[in-house]
Structure 1
Amino acid sequence: MGVSMQENSKIKYTVIFNATNIGKRLNGIGIYSLNLLKYFSKLQTHIQFKVYVNRNCRPHLRDINFPENITLHWVSPRLSPDYKFSGHLLRLLYSNLLSLKYRHHLIFNTSQLEISFFASRQIITIHDIIPLLFKKYHKKQYYFFKYFLSGALKRVQAVITPSQHSKALILKYYRLEADKVQVVPCGVREVEEVNHPSSLSEKEKIILYAGRISPTKNISGLVKAFELIKDKIAHQLVIAGESRDFLEKEIKSGHLSRSSLQEDRISVTGYLDDQKLQQLMRRAEVFVYPSLYEGFGFPPLEAMRCGCPVIVSSSSSLPEVCGEAAYYVKPNNPQEIAAALSHVLTNRDLREQMIQQGFSQVQNYRWDISTARHLKLFEKMMGAKPVTTRPAQLPQVLLESIHPSPSF
């Protein structure tokens, strides 16, 4: 049976928004999807959004007032990234089921791990291609990125990526047309203004890392750097990350000594929610992010937003994202990281300058602007009439009243 003109018009201006990658514990991709939902709810547009989310993310959505053009469809919590590999696999399968169900609609998949192999009317966000660059750390994902993702990208309408650096790599490895890949930088999360240190004298002697604990984050290099200068400073190294498993692997492989992690001045906090992490960033005297590779890099910008001086790698997208507001080091050189720490920690004027430059730098990364650019791309792909993207003055739609779809 054919599609009627009325149904075709409805389909034309409907986006299937796959946000199933928002978990109970937010990672970078979850932060991206969640903030797009928050800010799309404030924009006016002719476009209707059918948003698919898993039940594990319900707490993150309760405070969002969704307008009438956005409906949520709940699926099983088993699709959440909280379930690691099984969650990733189920999201990929479910995304492709959605593409078959909505084969006439425009589908927006908010990460490469949910790409639809069958959908040609598809916009996909590729945050990074780390598995292609670091095969030894991502043996399973390497083949997905090299073969499955490569074939599917030939069919999509557009690719969104958060940095020029990532775009250059996508063009290099996937040989797409340049105008098919759109750079849309992410934003920085809002922070609570309460209890913000009013001066450097209120900072504590904390060297902070926050983010995933994985090989490419180079935690081993940071620990080695701290070992080099710990007798010259009174600071504590705090690693705010979800798991110690990787650190245990580094010990077993001989890259780290167990005694270094048993050092009283090195602590691993485990997962921290936004409020606790922001408090820690406010208190820290310096934030260090010695990552080997980043497609964008949320944590350094969030540290800047909290008034913390930032030391980052001089690699990948980080110089592009952090601009002149960060102190740069070669990530594979613990001696250089140690020297940077010593220089920043002993130079009060430099830290004050870095804080002010950080405040200026984060103004370049706003979620309202990022979301508006996403919307402009959707409208271009659909031929929809643009609407001034001001906050929508619509009545609150309670989360519980949104009609859910059948569970996965």
Structure 2
Amino acid sequence: MNTIYINARFLTQTVTGVQRYAIELVKEIDNLIDAGEVDGTKVEFCLLSPANVVTHLELKHIRHRIVGRLKGHVWEQLELPFYAKKGLLINLCNTGPAFKRNQVVTIHDASVFSYPKAFSFAFRSWYQFLTVRLGKISKKVITVSNFSKGELIQHCKIAAQKVSVTHLGIDHIHHRQAAQGTLEKYGINSPYVLAVSTMNPYKNFKLILEILPQVKAQNLSVVIVGSKNSKVFSNHAVNDSEGVNWVGYVTDEELKALYEHATGFIFPSLYEGFGLPPLEAMALGCPVIVSSRGSIPEVCGEAGLYFDPHHPQEAASRLVEMMSDPELGQRMSIQGKEHSAFFSWNKCAKDTVNIIMSTV
């Protein structure tokens, strides 16, 4: 029986888009084994992680082993290769051992090359080296959009035939129960536009402050979900401003409640490898106003209203357009639900397993 090891360092990290992808993908591969769509008698999947696990998965067929004494990057570079030496290693979150050849890696984007000033020097330098290195030595590279594939080929000189695209799924949002009392907990007592992201400069949150007068003119406030990581991102802050409620990091159940009660969703990013939040909003019937940059048009299709993220007035116009036409908002809500349904973790898992099996 072949053993396929999965780098489960993501279980030790705060859940953002990259960790969400890894968690949902592993759960769905476990479901495929359970349904007999992956032959568990011929191949065994095994999660390997350091001891400082914060996310625990309930899996029927995929084993989870805690190995080594270290943690973080040091664990990943020094101990993980030793424990995975007898099999293929799958890395789902941009990083992996720099000197193991029998591995597959998912690289979500090339932001450290396209927007280097958005990251600290240490983070940028390490990730630029590691992305190029993994692209060169890994058997296969998976990425999450055709946009990201083009970026990786351009910046890292990875051979096109080595890179496969698997879109993320959205169905996880339907498996959560919206948390009761979320609006009261965060002091939200008026109609609002929701924004969800990390506080990275290329997420372009300053645009929201620039259009705040127009937002207020529509009798709306802004609720921002996301946390700033100063170890990763260079100095940048969304200053406290009247009409903006920055709630920070919330649970999945609270996030679902915020999506469901929002009048609209705004996503002003200058760069995205995929862009999961707009799809999550769509899946819950929340109309989305989104940037026309990066992978966002590829992901959102015709179900969103687009604006140039370098032109705040255009974003404000889209917001006014949606608010002044209830029929448009209703139509966007329906289109969003229909469009998001095409993105499933089942398809993502099947495509990923096929790529993995082609290397075994």
Q: Under a length normalisation based on structure 2, what TM-score does the superposition of the two structures give? A: 0.87
Equivalent position of 1:176 in the other structure: 158
Cα deviation digits, residues 268-322 of structure 1 (max 9, x gap): 1011000000001000010001011010011011111111001111000000001
Q: Is 1:294 the equivalent of 2:272?
A: yes
Alignment check: 8 A CA contact 2:12 2:55 kept: no
Q: Is 1:38 the equivalent of 2:27?
A: yes
Equivalent position of 1:49 in the other structure: 45
Equivalent position of 1:82 in the other structure: none
Cα distance in structure 1, aligned partners of 2:307 and 2:82:
47
For residue 95 of structure 1, report the CA deviation from its aligned partner.
4.2
Q: Is 1:129 the equivalent of 2:125?
A: no
Change (3 A) 1:379 1:286: same
Alignment check: 8 A CA contact 2:81 2:97 kept: yes
Change (3 A) 1:76 1:26: farther
Cα distance in structure 2, aligned partners of 1:206 and 1:78:
44
Cα distance in structure 1, aligned partners of 2:70 and 2:309:
36
Q: Which is further off, 367-376 or 204-213?
A: 204-213
Which secondary structure does the structure 2 equivalent of 1:154 belong to? helix
Task: Answer with 1 or 2: which has the greater Rg.
Answer: 1
For residue 65 of structure 1, report the CA deviation from its aligned partner.
3.5
For residue 380 of structure 1, report the CA deviation from its aligned partner.
1.4
Q: Which amino acid aligns with 1:66?
A: K
Cα deviation digits, residues 80-133 of structure 1 (max 9, x gap): xxxxxxx4x33xx424432244334111011222x2222111100001111111
Cα distance in structure 2, aligned partners of 1:137 and 1:24:
20
Cα distance in structure 2, aligned partners of 1:240 and 1:283:
14
Cα deviation digits, residues 226-284 of structure 1 (max 9, x gap): 23x14522111111112497999556xxxx7x5xx331x21110110000000010000
Cα distance in structure 1, aligned partners of 2:191 and 2:163:
43
Equivalent position of 2:183 in the other structure: none
Q: Which amino acid aligns with 1:168?
A: G
Equivalent position of 1:66 in the other structure: 60
Change (3 A) 1:55 1:232: same
Cα distance in structure 2, aligned partners of 1:95 and 1:36:
23
For 1:233, which of 207, 211, 218 is the aligned residue?
218
Higher relative contact order (CA 8 A, sep 6+): 1
Cα distance in structure 2, aligned partners of 1:161 and 1:194:
30
Cα distance in structure 1, aligned partners of 2:277 and 2:191:
19
Cα distance in structure 2, aligned partners of 1:192 and 1:374:
22
Change (3 A) 1:194 1:231: closer
For 1:29, which of 14, 18, 21 is the aligned residue?
18
Which secondary structure does the structure 2 equivalent of 1:14 belong to? strand
Which secondary structure does the structure 2 equivalent of 1:350 belong to? helix
Q: Percent identity?
A: 28
Cα deviation digits, residues 382-408 of structure 1 (max 9, x gap): 1xxxxxxxxxxxxxxxxxxxxxxxxxx
Equivalent position of 2:92 in the other structure: 110
Which secondary structure does the structure 1 equivalent of 2:222 belong to? strand
Alignment check: 8 A CA contact 2:68 2:79 kept: no
For 2:9, which of 7, 16, 20 is the aligned residue?
20
Change (3 A) 1:95 1:373: farther
Alignment check: 8 A CA contact 1:220 1:250 kept: no
For residue 186 of structure 1, report the CA deviation from its aligned partner.
1.0
Change (3 A) 1:230 1:348: same
Cα distance in structure 2, aligned partners of 1:171 and 1:244:
28
Change (3 A) 1:161 1:231: closer
Equivalent position of 1:191 in the other structure: 174
Specify every segment of 5 or more residues in structure 2 that has no aligned partner in the other structure, as ranges: 34-38, 180-188
Cα distance in structure 2, aligned partners of 1:294 and 1:310:
16
Q: Which amino acid aligns with 1:38?
A: K
Alignment check: 8 A CA contact 1:129 1:145 kept: no
- RMSD, aligned CA: 2.6
Which secondary structure does the structure 2 equivalent of 1:213 belong to? coil
Q: Which amino acid aligns with 1:348?
A: P
Cα distance in structure 2, aligned partners of 1:365 and 1:141:
31
Q: Which amino acid aligns with 1:223?
A: L
Q: How many pairs align?
A: 341
Q: Which amino acid aligns with 2:357?
A: E
Change (3 A) 1:211 1:56: farther
Q: Note the 1:291-370 alignment, pairs <5 A.
A: 291-370=269-348
Q: Is 1:162 the equivalent of 2:144?
A: yes
Cα deviation digits, residues 300-354 of structure 1 (max 9, x gap): 1111111100111100000000100111111121111111111111211111111
Q: Which is further off, 368-377 or 146-155?
A: 146-155
For residue 58 of structure 1, report the CA deviation from its aligned partner.
5.0
Equivalent position of 1:277 in the other structure: 255
Change (3 A) 1:286 1:221: same
Q: Is 1:217 the equivalent of 2:210?
A: no
Cα distance in structure 2, aligned partners of 1:212 and 1:262:
18
Q: Is 1:374 the equivalent of 2:352?
A: yes
Q: Under a length normalisation based on structure 1, what TM-score does the superposition of the two structures give? A: 0.77
For residue 216 of structure 1, report the CA deviation from its aligned partner.
1.2
Q: Which amino acid aligns with 2:218?
A: I
